[in-house]
Amino acid sequence: MDKIFYENLKKLNIIKKSDKLSLGVSGGADSMYLFYNFMDLKEDWDLDIIVCHLNHGIRETAKRDEEFVKKSCQAYGIKFISKTVNMDEFARKEKISSEEAGRILRYEFFRENSQGRKILTAHNANDRAETVLFNIMRGTGLKGLSGISHVNKDVYRPLINIKREEIEDYLHKNKLPYFDDETNFKEIYTRNKIRLGLIPQLKKFNPDIINSLLRLSENAEEANDFIGEILEENYYNCLGDNFLIPSEIKKLKKFIGQEVIKKYLEENFYSENILSRSNILAIYDLCLGDSGRQIDLGKNISARRSYDKIYIEEVIDQDEKTSKDLVLGRNATDFGEIFISRDEKESHEDSFIKVIDCDKIKGSLYIRKRAPGDRFKPLGMKNNKKLKDYFIDRKVDRLLRDEIGLVCDNEKIIYILGMDISEDVKIDKNTKNKLILEVRNVRY
């Protein structure tokens, strides 16, 4: 076993005795270094190890590598699992880069076969430094400057502090076989261009550029961990059931407030790919503005502020709600089920029940959505007020106002579903005939 490997493993403290491990092994120098060292450690630490190998389907020599890893596993009595995919075809289908396609397919494959196991990959210190440069070129924050972390959920990287030259030196000195991936020496992918083209140029200015990038990465990781602790302390105070709370976000430092928004987008809209600095800043600006504003985040997703709530949601065309006459008994409407009776009965769960004076109704009853110029006299008030003002006073979400059913007679609104009845139809000491309205499954 390599002393560097063993000391680094103890330093990271990510692998324990009797762990169940799944090693991602391609057959290249890094992954075979991972494999050989864990074979030396397996018995002493009582490790349960399997090996997963993904053939990306893009090289003629890929089958050679697969057979090599398979035979290596057989020699050590290790379970070997392999799968062949078409990385380039997947990239075209999903409209992503080949590099991203390969990453997605690898981790899907690893997780399919690693239930209850720690997934180990062979990313090394050079990979981490190259990732920092890659992220800088794309534009990044502290998390991106951290590069590749040694632990990411169920994925563990025990070689992340070991340099590529140390790995290759160990393999050569001990005559341990591996196969080079020929594509690693061609500037066909961005990471290859960074490794083969950019880093040699940077070494002309700083021969120790890898260590410099690693120090930057470690410092950024420590800062990011510290910020993460502050974020966790405040994050859930800024959330409702399905919305952000602007007043709570505004209490925080601007940077932490933006991190709250970023985390919310990551957790709820990762697959929609709307996480960008411009969107984070736009949503933060929404927190500072007035109610009623709405912004487009792309991918058919919008963010809108309704009072002290910010909804981030898919833009959906609402179905038109139709009016309907109401009769005694059950009425199925676009706004919910309405049961009308002359006698009070036991109420249904999750229902709204209102009792009104039947003799104060003018003509017949029907239900509709709001219309321009609507006015309503809420219970307890002497005068009518604009329905719009009533909704504003009740802080009813602007997009929900057209969804709320209004029970009307021939002259007026007598009941706003789930809210108030009109003062004009309330029961009093002179009431002789009562009408009971029970609403179930309100649809807003």
pLDDT in tens, 37-47: 999 999 999 99
Residues of the chain with pLDDT > 70: what percent?
96
Q: Is the per-residue pLDDT at 344 higher than 70? A: no
**Looking at the whole model, is its pTM more than 0.85?**
no
Does the pLDDT at position 12 exceed 60? yes
As a whole number, mean pLDDT of residues 2-29 equals: 94
Of 100-109, 216-225, 393-402, the poorest mean pLDDT is in: 393-402
Q: What is the pLDDT of residue 318?
A: 61
Q: How far is CA 392 from CA 291, 295, 304, in A?
A: 10, 21, 16
The predicted pLDDT at position 373 comes to: 86
pLDDT of residue 241: 84
**pLDDT digits over 242-272, tens only?**
899 999 999 999 999 999 999 999 988 887 8
Q: Is 70 exceeded by the pLDDT of residue 316?
A: no
Tell me: pLDDT of 367 over 90.
yes
Q: Which residues are annotated as a binding site?
A: 26-31
Residues of each annotated binding site for ATP: 26-31
Task: Give yes or no for a contact between 1 and 41, defined as CB atoms under 8 angstroms apart.
Answer: yes
Confidence of residue 25 (pLDDT cuts 50, 70, 90): very high
pLDDT category of residue 98 using cuts at 50, 70 and 90: confident
* pLDDT tens, position by position, 67-88: 999 999 999 999 999 999 999 8
- What does the pLDDT average to over 392-421? 89
Average model confidence (pLDDT) across the chain? 90
- Per-residue pLDDT band for 65 (boundaries 50, 70, 90) equals very high
